[in-house]
Amino acid sequence: MCRAVRQSGGNPGRGSHSLARAASDILYSARERVAKHFGAESENVVFTQNATHALNIAIKALAKRGYKIVMSDMEHNSVCRPVYALAKQGVSYDFFTADSDAERVIESLMRVCDHSCIAVACSVASNICQLRLPIADIGRFCRERGMIFIADASQCAGSMDIDIERDGISILCAPGHKGLYGPAGSGVAVFSSGAASECAKFQTIIEGGSGTLSADRYMPEVMPERFEAGTVALPAIAGLCEGIKFVDSIGTDKIYAHECKLAKYVRERLCDTEKIRLYGEGEGSIVLFNVEDIPSQRFAQMLDERGICARAGLHCAPLAHAKLKTGVDGAVRLSFSPFNNVNECEETVRTIKELIR
């Protein structure tokens, strides 16, 4: 990141001078890194500010009166709100039941996907519980029906092996600052070769300079410039590239196994604790809980006073909280990373137990 700021302050893809060329090199290396990580072509990687930006690009590309978009009943607002906004323009929507079981998900999709349905948009993994959706099955379902599959990988990019061509994903959206260990202000929308070849049909949500075909009135019909209006956040993108290098050096499976091990450790030590209610089932890398008679935000504050950072509330996912029946105050979420260890988990459990004593 520092190198991007200090040594290449030019605007990538714009000029021919040495600083612009250096910036272009950094940008393209980051595209290659992201592409390799998700099994895509480098030109099909669109850099965004975050996952929400990427999801808006993907979802609103499809806006057309009479079309229908289907999402899961546990979606984050980054999926729901762009869809709700499109509904004001005549796009309809429906929900399928989020589940880890492929058969149940496909049955549910078959019930809600009619001839007007052009896309399924859903999180690959919940941001509040252990649930991971069977994306390869959803991808196959969409591919067989000629539908677009928009996958929100916010909670699993970096801890799940995702290959957009293999998994049938049309557009994968991910933030840089979570499991890919980039800085805030970075994100990606990664298009499959099929979706990219039809990019001219996709509407743009932001228009402006693209560094190419500047005499045209509209955004170029080439990837990735069609969706990258204006100057990209090069320092953040350079940081994201290094973050993915870090992830690749360890491996997504190993990272996920470590996170699950820590989550299991905490869950097992809290599950028989009086006054604590745990949510969600099965293995996973998140622990979601509530303490009897203490609102979640208050309890997160109490943890913070003891040096433990936990997010409470609805986590921008009111549908998911409603499904898990956490209540109006939501719940407290503990999440883990490769930088956490068992000792920290033990301390967290001890602190929680002390606070509710």
Binding site for other proteins (CB under 8 A): 12-16, 20-21, 24-25, 27-28, 31-32, 42-43, 211-216, 220, 222-225
By C-beta, is 46 or 286 nearer to other proteins? 46
Cα dihedral sign, 197-202-206-209: positive
Asked if residues 143 and 168 have their Cβ atoms less than 8 Å apart, the reply is yes
**Cβ of residue 193: shortest distance to other proteins, in angstroms?**
9
Residues 178 and 193: their CA atoms lie apart, in Å, by: 26
By C-beta, is 32 or 94 nearer to other proteins? 32
- Give the count of beta carbons closer than 10 Å to the beta carbon of residue 278: 16
Residues 357 and 346: their CA atoms lie apart, in Å, by: 17
DSSP state of 2: H
Helix (H, G, I), strand (E, B) or coil at 70: strand
Cα dihedral sign, 17-23-25-28: negative
Residues 160 and 175: their CA atoms lie apart, in Å, by: 14
**Cβ of residue 45: shortest distance to other proteins, in angstroms?**
9
**Cβ of residue 47: shortest distance to other proteins, in angstroms?**
11
By C-beta, is 25 or 107 nearer to other proteins? 25
Asked if residues 142 and 199 have their Cβ atoms less than 8 Å apart, the reply is no
By C-beta, is 7 or 341 nearer to other proteins? 7
By C-beta, is 215 or 309 nearer to other proteins? 215
Residues 126 and 132: their CA atoms lie apart, in Å, by: 6
**Cβ of residue 195: shortest distance to other proteins, in angstroms?**
16
**Cβ of residue 9: shortest distance to other proteins, in angstroms?**
17
By C-beta, is 210 or 285 nearer to other proteins? 210
Report the chain's C-alpha Rg in angstroms. 21
**Cβ of residue 161: shortest distance to other proteins, in angstroms?**
25
